[in-house]
Chains A and B, each alone.
Chain A
Amino acid sequence: MIDVKNLVKKYAGQTAVQGISFAVNRGEVVGFLGPNGAGKSTTMRILTGFLPATSGEVSVAGLDLLENSREVRRKVGYMPENVPLYMDMRVREYVEYRAALKGIRGRGLRNRVSDALARCGITDVSRKMIGALSRGYRQRVGLADAIVHEPELLILDEPTAGLDPNQIRAVRDLIKELGKDRTILLSTHILPEVEMVCSRAIIINRGRIEASDTLENLSKRVRSGSLFLELKVAGAEAKAALEALPDVGQVDIRGEADGWVQLECLAKPGKDVRRTVDELIKDKRWPLGEFRYAKPTLEDVFVELTQE
């Protein structure tokens, strides 16, 4: 659905996107993940034909973007960052105008607009001025605009930015629902969001792609989960014994008091050390206070990949 090769975008003073390549397949919901200023919006603006690339090849929906910009724009539904809308229009009026601008004509128009408003849960406010709506509702008006011409591909730039937790949940559910029958590329810097709605994540940092994989593989990639232990033994002794085990990477002493020591034990990437550690403890007959395994989160991956 999207095929990007060696995309470069230079602004007047800096290079925002430094030769990235990635692909999004039909039916996928892909999270475009990165800290602020990573180049997410820039990439999306190029994909939607708003900005020209400095160099590189982009094809969307099987069409070359340079040659078929208008045809591509017909097939893409785009919600820009911060959802700019005409504040002086009413909700329904705006979505009808957008549908007409995207080439929907005649009797179909009213139906499609009604359908889009219903899907986004804004039928109730369809007569209100957009300027009078809360941020959450505006976001949904932006989504209704993005889906009204039934595009094959949705590109959403930070669809939940600036919303309160309830609104975030509503918009997220809506995206999940929309993702059932179309391809979505959404950008965000909120990690749980990706974990909740996406099947794959592309992590971008300072204009470069750091990783692109399914969430599961990404999680495995950097390191395995952490094992939190509390043992009644001298800290140094426990640390030495644990570190001697195969597959154990790093062991940190988190605290020591009353003869008990708290440790965090990291396995080497892709390894699981719960079993060997358990056997070691039983072998040594150390009294055990806590034995807790925490799965690696996307956050760990993100921090690890995008840190300075």
Chain B
Amino acid sequence: MIRTILVQTKRELGAILFSPIAYVLLTCFALLHGFSFTLCVEAMQQGVKNVTIMFIFFNWFFFWFALILFVPILTMRLFSEEFKSGTVEPLLTAPVSEWDVVIAKFTAAFLFYVLLWVPSALFYTIYQFLTGHVTPVQWGPLFLGYAMVLLIGAFYISIGLFASSLTRNQVVAAVLAFAGIALLFFCSFLGFFTVNPQLEELVNYISSLNHMRLFANGTFDSRPVILYLSGAVLFLFLTERALAGRRLKN
């Protein structure tokens, strides 16, 4: 039910924005990206050729570091806190379905995630402005790069949400989410260790590093889109089951 989901999403956004963690995350993210961006600019000055600044930015170590570390912190409290404080009881005895709640929590976390990326877009705008548009904006790579950021984010957030639905302990939820996301991410590096072409193909198919490189270069591929969207849907589905199952188990 759309109305119910909207009402609950508003509540979840409020809860995220009320917590100090939100501002720590926003600040750290902005600082990290600012720092990363400066390094990118330096790299450009030292004569890295044939790439855009956004390409470097999206493939920089800091980009992944921030993603893998911050998503679990963002998602850890979504369900765990409600289990611990008991507020899940009034929540689920209101006329709502588990799906309403799962979608609302996901949407709120995702919106906050989008907010986390706003400063990076500002840096770019400022950069363009300061350099007097020496390099024309390449809309394709820019747009696709951010699209990939959102796709990967949606997938990782759904993993974090699922982890949070499994436990009333926020730390456990964060560690679980971190383990899951890191594991998936490090599959990207398996390519270095194998000469088996079939395995390499598989690694290429699931490697987030590859996807990002591809999209930030302005090349669109529908396979990663499907991979991340179906991954997100799968984990949202698992979350809904975990929530329903928690009631059965209790």
Binding site for B on A (CB under 8 A): 11-12, 45, 48-52, 70-71, 73-74, 76, 78, 80, 82, 84-89, 97-98, 100-103, 105, 145
Answer yes or no: B86 CB below 8 A from chain A CBs. yes
Q: Which of A71, A82, A98 contacts B94 (CB 8 A)?
A: A98
Interface centre among B19, B92, B93 (most CB of A within 10 A): B93
Q: Which of A11, A71, A85, A100 contacts B7 (CB 8 A)?
A: A100
Residue pair A101, B93 in contact (C-beta under 8 Å): no
Within the assembled complex, what's the spacing in Å between the Cα atoms of A14 and B148?
Answer: 50
Within the assembled complex, what's the spacing in Å between the Cα atoms of A72 and B7?
Answer: 20
Q: How many residues of B contact A (CB 8 A)?
A: 26
The smallest C-beta distance from A156 to any residue of chain B, in angstroms, reads 13
Answer yes or no: B132 CB below 8 A from chain A CBs. no
Answer yes or no: B3 CB below 8 A from chain A CBs. yes
Residue pair B93, A97 in contact (C-beta under 8 Å): no
The smallest C-beta distance from A120 to any residue of chain B, in angstroms, reads 16
Within the assembled complex, what's the spacing in Å between the Cα atoms of A297 and B250?
Answer: 36
Complex contacts, B94 vs chain A, CB 8 Å: 73, 98, 101-102
Answer yes or no: B188 CB below 8 A from chain A CBs. no
The smallest C-beta distance from A73 to any residue of chain B, in angstroms, reads 5
Stretch at the interface among B8-16, B201-209, B232-240: B8-16
Complex contacts, B3 vs chain A, CB 8 Å: 100, 103, 105
Residue of A nearest to B15 (CB): A88
Q: A88-B15, A88-B18 are in contact. Are A73 and B93 (CB under 8 A)?
A: yes
Residue of B nearest to A47 (CB): B93
A-B contact pairs, 22 of them (CB 8 A): A45-B89, A49-B92, A50-B89, A50-B92, A50-B247, A51-B250, A52-B247, A52-B248, A70-B97, A84-B85, A85-B87, A85-B90, A86-B11, A86-B15, A86-B87, A88-B15, A100-B3, A100-B7, A101-B4, A101-B95, A103-B3, A105-B3
Interface centre among B4, B88, B95 (most CB of A within 10 A): B95
Residue of B nearest to A50 (CB): B93
Residue pair A70, B95 in contact (C-beta under 8 Å): yes
Q: A49-B93, A50-B92 are in contact. Are A101 and B247 (CB under 8 A)?
A: no
The smallest C-beta distance from B136 to any residue of chain A, in angstroms, reads 46
3 closest A-B pairs (Cβ-Cβ)?
A84-B86, A88-B18, A74-B95
Interface centre among B11, B85, B90 (most CB of A within 10 A): B90
Within the assembled complex, what's the spacing in Å between the Cα atoms of A288 and B94?
Answer: 63
Residue of B nearest to A157 (CB): B89
Q: Which of A11, A12, A52, A78 contacts B90 (CB 8 A)?
A: A78
Q: Which of B85, B96, B250 contacts A101 (CB 8 A)?
A: B96
Residue pair A80, B247 in contact (C-beta under 8 Å): no
Within the assembled complex, what's the spacing in Å between the Cα atoms of A74 and B96?
Answer: 9
Residue pair B89, A84 in contact (C-beta under 8 Å): yes
Give how many A-B residue pairs fall within 8 Å (CB-CB). 69
The smallest C-beta distance from A70 to any residue of chain B, in angstroms, reads 5
Answer yes or no: B133 CB below 8 A from chain A CBs. no
Residue pair B7, A84 in contact (C-beta under 8 Å): no
Q: A11-B250, A51-B247, A97-B7 are in contact. Are A80 and B86 (CB under 8 A)?
A: yes
Residue pair B95, A73 in contact (C-beta under 8 Å): yes
Answer yes or no: B49 CB below 8 A from chain A CBs. no
Complex contacts, A89 vs chain B, CB 8 Å: 11, 14
Complex contacts, A71 vs chain B, CB 8 Å: 95
Residue pair B249, A12 in contact (C-beta under 8 Å): yes
Q: What does the 1/0 interface line of B70-100 toward A look like (CB < 8 Å)?
A: 0000000000000001111110111111000
Q: Give residues 187-246 of B contacting A (CB, 8 Å).
A: none
The smallest C-beta distance from A54 to any residue of chain B, in angstroms, reads 10
Within the assembled complex, what's the spacing in Å between the Cα atoms of A105 and B95?
Answer: 14
The smallest C-beta distance from A248 to any residue of chain B, in angstroms, reads 51
Within the assembled complex, what's the spacing in Å between the Cα atoms of A145 and B87?
Answer: 13
Residue pair B247, A84 in contact (C-beta under 8 Å): no
Within the assembled complex, what's the spacing in Å between the Cα atoms of A88 and B20?
Answer: 11
Complex contacts, A98 vs chain B, CB 8 Å: 90, 94
The smallest C-beta distance from B96 to any residue of chain A, in angstroms, reads 6
The smallest C-beta distance from B185 to any residue of chain A, in angstroms, reads 32
Complex contacts, B88 vs chain A, CB 8 Å: 84
Within the assembled complex, what's the spacing in Å between the Cα atoms of A88 and B22?
Answer: 14
Beyond the given pairs A70-B95, A86-B11, 19 more chain A to chain B contacts, judged by CB atoms under 8 angstroms and listed by A's residue number, are A45-B89, A49-B92, A50-B92, A50-B247, A78-B90, A80-B89, A80-B93, A84-B85, A84-B86, A84-B87, A84-B89, A84-B90, A88-B15, A88-B19, A97-B10, A98-B90, A100-B7, A103-B3, A145-B90
